[in-house]
A and B are shown apart, each in its own frame.
Chain A
Amino acid sequence: MTGEGTKAASAITVLPPTIIMAIYGLWVINKAGGLVYQRSFADGLAQLTSNEYLVLAGTLHGIHAITSRLSPMGSSSGAQVIEGESFKMTILLTPTGTKFVLLTSPAETSAEATLQKVYEVYADDVMKNPFHTPEMPIRSERFDSRIGILIGNGLTTV
Chain B
Amino acid sequence: MAYSQPQHPRLSVLSNSSASSVDHLSPTGSATRFSLPPTVPTSPRPAGVRPNIYDRNITKPRVLDVSGAAFSFMFAEIVSYTQKRVAGINDLERRLNTLGYRVGMRVLELMTWRAEYTSKAPKREIRLLPALMSIQTQVWRAVFGKPADGIQKSVENADEYMIIDNDPSIERHISVPKDMKQLSCSSFTAGIVEAVLDGLGFPARVTAHNTPSAEHPTKTTILIKLEKSVLDREEIIKQ
Contacts and interface: CB of A to CB of B under 8 A. Distances in A.
- The contact size tier of chain B is 10 to 19
Contact of A129 (B69, B83, B174, B180): B174
A15 B54 CA distance: 68
B102 to A, nearest CB: 19
Contact of B83 (A130, A140, A141): A130
Nearest to A123: B69
B112 interface: no
B222 to A, nearest CB: 20
A131 B174 contact: yes
Contacts of A141: 175
Interface in A118-158: 124-125, 127-131, 139-143
B221 to A, nearest CB: 20
Most-contacted residue by chain B among A127, A131, A141 (CB, 10 A): A131
Contacts of B78: 130
Contacts, number: 40
A125 B218 CA distance: 14
Contacts of B175: 125, 129, 131, 140-143
B176 A127 contact: no
B173 A124 contact: yes
Contacts of A124: 72, 173
A21 to B, nearest CB: 31
Contact of B80 (A125, A130, A140, A142): A130
Interface of B: 69, 72-73, 75-80, 83, 173-177, 180, 185
Among all A-B residue pairs, the 6 with the closest Cβ atoms? A130-B79, A128-B173, A130-B76, A130-B80, A140-B175, A128-B72
Interface of A: 124-125, 127-131, 139-143
16 contacts: A125-B173, A127-B73, A128-B72, A128-B173, A129-B76, A129-B173, A129-B174, A130-B77, A130-B79, A130-B80, A130-B174, A131-B174, A131-B175, A139-B177, A142-B173, A142-B174
